A and B are shown apart, each in its own frame.
Chain A
Amino acid sequence: MPRYLLTRAWHSALTLVLATIVVFLGIRALPGDPALSLAGEDRSPEALAAIRAEYGLDQPMIVQFGRYVERALHGDFGTSIRTGLPVSDMIRTALPVTIELSALAILIATVLGVGAGVVAAVRRGRPAEWVANGLALIGLSVPHFWLGLLAILYLSVATGLFPASGFVPFTEDPIGNLHHIILPAVILGTGLAAIIMRQTRSAMLDSLSADYVRTAKAKGLSPRAVIGRHALRNSLIVVVTIVGLQLGGLISGAVVTESIFGLPGFGKMTIDAVFQRDYPVIQAVILLTATAYIVINFLVDLLYSVIDPRIRVAGEAA
């Protein structure tokens, strides 16, 4: 086990280094001069030069990169060009909102998706399966922003059941916090729920016809044990993979959802930064997203080995 983990950790670290370089270079390849957008009205060469000097934009790339890495390691991502606040402070306030939103969305999507997928597989060819399939189709084909707008229209504006926008930190008012975030989380989770449902369904159909499920039935086990302990457990590998793969999509979905519901999260911060060419913020955002992605992939690998003993052993042997 430690060996398997070490290999995976090493790969993750390598990916992270590469990601940092790509992010740094990529952002500088974007068209448009940040000094120009910072300068505002006064676009005289002297003013631009002063701005470049202030933000270190006049230094050679390699120097900029070196400084960037050194600071990032100390948690210092520079100062936002737009707000003048330290980027790390901005992230510290925005990130918890997005993490809460995404975690809740994943939780909702997994519970709904796995539940509906199991039902659809077990009740194959009966009305329950058609309902689950139909819902999944809707969840997949209807875009988030439209669902979000509908939800605001009917559940917030018309009935006042949920607030249409705004946010309260969990630490200040837990109930108010959930009240604000549950609707966006459900909206954000629908697409993922639909994907999870479909994958769970097909994985369950496979494992339900497997020989070991027949063995489990022949032992006289209850349907619950046969389905849950035997069939579902073998299908979970697929579900974990899907959730892992879909997290990238979830992050971009979070950007849209936060904008619609006016949540002061990472996504909103990103959009603002992109429109303003706020380099330090964009860099930090992408780097953090990449890091999150790599860490999550590592966790998914870890989870595999927990679910499937064969992976543990294969890793040891390698």
Chain B
Amino acid sequence: MILEVADLTVSFVTESGDVSAVDGVNLDLDAGEIVGVVGESGCGKSVTAMSLAGLLPRSARVSGSVRLRGTELIGAREPELRRVRGKEIAYIFQEPMTSLNPVLTVGRQIGEVLQEHERLSRKQVRQRAVELLSLVGIPSPANRVDNYPHQLSGGMRQRVMIAMAVACNPTVLVADEPTTALDVTAQAGILDVLRNLRDRLGTSVLIITHDLGVIADIADRVVVMYAGRVVEQAPVVELFAHPHHHYTDGLLKASPTPGRHAGTDRLQEIPGLVPVLTRQPDACTFADRCPAADQKCRGSAPPLTASSGSQAHLAACWHPTRQEAKR
């Protein structure tokens, strides 16, 4: 196992009291595996991702364990974390418009990572930056390397972000909604780049999105989060075919998947909103929106357990959906 996250819990100290963002998340990432994390806005995906390499702001209270090849990162000292960032765990962020520095050339911004983690001469850094730009599919990279971010399109900027992230061949690539801001063509291109990386370098990828289409396209395994907790986890085909948690079921029904919606032309919505919690209750946090909720769901939190069928399929639900009965 490359990355093991156990019982990760994050809360923020804010002026209006504490906000619980992530509650006891467990998550594993194997070498060369692409794991997708899905869930509605505000369910703690980004916070989980940021806490891996200690990137959360000072107002965050983090507990639990994040082990990278066995080395504990939670509570690690800053110099140690700096060696991990960019070199072992690299990030691609959601906003290609604002995530690049407007006053530095893209070559310089890619070069920075290389200079920080690898012993290269100025010339080698530049040459490598050009190589990386061409690797992520930017045309005429030798010219583009001297461009400023505002001279590039959104898709190209996101490719620059990827070039930056993969510059030092990281062990783990965390892509936080890498395609959300892009059009469909650019999106497909970005996903191709990620897949190629995994295939050629064996990079493990944690891809965060609320787009199930992206998950279906690229992920090997899916983790579904709701209100700071992991509610279901399964291989991608298994999850799409047999969702156990009612939230997952709702998500699938709410997004257009070919075949699934044959015959229905309207998408279903899950009624209600993701709650913002100050404390994590001992109950299923989805109970208020769940069609199958009863007293048990409101009185104690369901553990994430393997279902009857497969060891790889986990769900946190007292009353899992019964697909057979539905069909």
Which residues of chain B come closer than 8 Å to A215, judged between CB atoms?
A: 91, 93, 99-101, 161, 164
Q: What's the Cα separation between A212 and B149 when bound, in Å?
A: 11
Q: What's the Cα separation between A225 and B115 when bound, in Å?
A: 12
- Beta-carbon nearest neighbor of A125 in chain B: B58
Q: A28 at the A/B interface (Cβ < 8 Å)?
A: no
Q: B112 at the A/B interface (Cβ < 8 Å)?
A: yes
Which residues of chain A come closer than 8 Å to B102, judged between CB atoms?
A: 212, 234, 308-310
Q: A245 at the A/B interface (Cβ < 8 Å)?
A: no
Judging by beta carbons under 8 Å apart, are B103 and A233 in contact? yes
Judging by beta carbons under 8 Å apart, are A222 and B82 in contact? yes
Judging by beta carbons under 8 Å apart, are B99 and A229 in contact? no
Which residues of chain B come closer than 8 Å to A221, judged between CB atoms?
A: 82, 86, 112-113, 116
- Beta-carbon nearest neighbor of B98 in chain A: A211
B98: contacting residue among A210, A222, A313, CB under 8 A: A210
| Most chain B Cβ neighbours within 10 Å, of A212, A214, A230 | A212
| Most chain A Cβ neighbours within 10 Å, of B87, B103, B113 | B103
Q: B90 at the A/B interface (Cβ < 8 Å)?
A: yes
Q: A216 at the A/B interface (Cβ < 8 Å)?
A: yes
Q: What's the Cα separation between A233 and B100 when bound, in Å?
A: 13
Judging by beta carbons under 8 Å apart, are B117 and A216 in contact? no
Which residues of chain B come closer than 8 Å to A309, judged between CB atoms?
A: 102-103, 148, 150
Q: What's the Cα separation between A307 and B102 when bound, in Å?
A: 10
Q: What's the Cα separation between A220 and B86 when bound, in Å?
A: 5
Given contacts A211-B95, A225-B112, A313-B150, contact A218 B55 (CB under 8 A): yes
A219: contacting residue among B95, B98, B103, B113, CB under 8 A: B113
Interface size on A, residues (CB 8 A): 22
Q: What's the Cα separation between A318 and B219 when bound, in Å?
A: 47
B164: contacting residue among A214, A219, A229, A308, CB under 8 A: A219
Judging by beta carbons under 8 Å apart, are B99 and A212 in contact? yes
- Beta-carbon nearest neighbor of A225 in chain B: B112
Q: A52 at the A/B interface (Cβ < 8 Å)?
A: no
| Most chain B Cβ neighbours within 10 Å, of A215, A219, A233, A234 | A219
Q: What's the Cα separation between A211 and B101 when bound, in Å?
A: 8
Q: Which of A221-250 contact B (CB under 8 A)?
A: 221-222, 225, 229-230, 233-234
Which residues of chain B come closer than 8 Å to A8, judged between CB atoms?
A: none
Judging by beta carbons under 8 Å apart, are A219 and B148 in contact? no
Q: B313 at the A/B interface (Cβ < 8 Å)?
A: no
What does the 1/0 interface line of B94-112 toward A look like (CB < 8 Å)? 0100111111100000001
Given contacts A218-B55, A220-B86, A310-B148, contact A212 B101 (CB under 8 A): yes
A220: contacting residue among B85, B101, B103, CB under 8 A: B85
Which residues of chain B come closer than 8 Å to A214, judged between CB atoms?
A: 55, 93, 99
Q: A179 at the A/B interface (Cβ < 8 Å)?
A: no
Which residues of chain A come closer than 8 Å to B86, judged between CB atoms?
A: 218-221
Which residues of chain A come closer than 8 Å to B83, judged between CB atoms?
A: 220
Q: B196 at the A/B interface (Cβ < 8 Å)?
A: no
Q: Which of B63-102 contact A (CB under 8 A)?
A: 82-87, 90-91, 93, 95, 98-102
Q: A217 at the A/B interface (Cβ < 8 Å)?
A: yes
Q: B151 at the A/B interface (Cβ < 8 Å)?
A: yes
Q: What's the Cα separation between A217 and B93 when bound, in Å?
A: 12
Given contacts A221-B112, A225-B112, contact A230 B101 (CB under 8 A): yes
Q: What's the Cα separation between A30 and B95 when bound, in Å?
A: 60
Q: B53 at the A/B interface (Cβ < 8 Å)?
A: yes
What does the 1/0 interface line of B283-314 toward A look like (CB < 8 Å)? 00000000000000000000000000000000
Smallest CB separation, A190 vs chain B (Å): 30
Which residues of chain A come closer than 8 Å to B100, judged between CB atoms?
A: 212, 215
What does the 1/0 interface line of B46-60 toward A look like (CB < 8 Å)? 000000010100000
Smallest CB separation, A277 vs chain B (Å): 51
Q: What's the Cα separation between A233 and B85 when bound, in Å?
A: 22
Judging by beta carbons under 8 Å apart, are B112 and A218 in contact? no
Q: What's the Cα separation between A230 and B164 when bound, in Å?
A: 15
Judging by beta carbons under 8 Å apart, are A218 and B98 in contact? no
Smallest CB separation, B92 vs chain A (Å): 9
Smallest CB separation, B243 vs chain A (Å): 33
Q: What's the Cα separation between A221 and B93 when bound, in Å?
A: 17
Judging by beta carbons under 8 Å apart, are A310 and B85 in contact? no
Q: What's the Cα separation between A86 and B85 when bound, in Å?
A: 68
| Most chain B Cβ neighbours within 10 Å, of A220, A225, A307 | A220
What does the 1/0 interface line of B231-258 toward A look like (CB < 8 Å)? 0000000000000000000000000000
- Beta-carbon nearest neighbor of B110 in chain A: A219
Judging by beta carbons under 8 Å apart, are B55 and A220 in contact? no
Judging by beta carbons under 8 Å apart, are B150 and A220 in contact? no
Judging by beta carbons under 8 Å apart, are A219 and B85 in contact? yes
Given contacts A212-B99, A212-B102, A310-B102, contact A219 B151 (CB under 8 A): no
Which residues of chain B come closer than 8 Å to A218, judged between CB atoms?
A: 53, 55, 85-86, 90-91, 93
Ranked 7 nearest A-B pairs via Cβ? A220-B85, A220-B86, A211-B98, A219-B86, A212-B101, A218-B91, A309-B148
Ordered by A's residue number, 10 sampled pairs between the chains whose C-beta atoms are within 8 Å are: A215-B161, A216-B112, A219-B90, A220-B86, A220-B87, A220-B113, A221-B112, A225-B112, A308-B103, A310-B102
Given A214-B99, A229-B104, 4 other A-B contacts at CB below 8 A?
A: A219-B113, A222-B116, A230-B101, A309-B102
Name B's A-contacting residues (CB within 8 A). Answer: 53, 55, 82-87, 90-91, 93, 95, 98-104, 112-113, 116-117, 148, 150-151, 161, 164
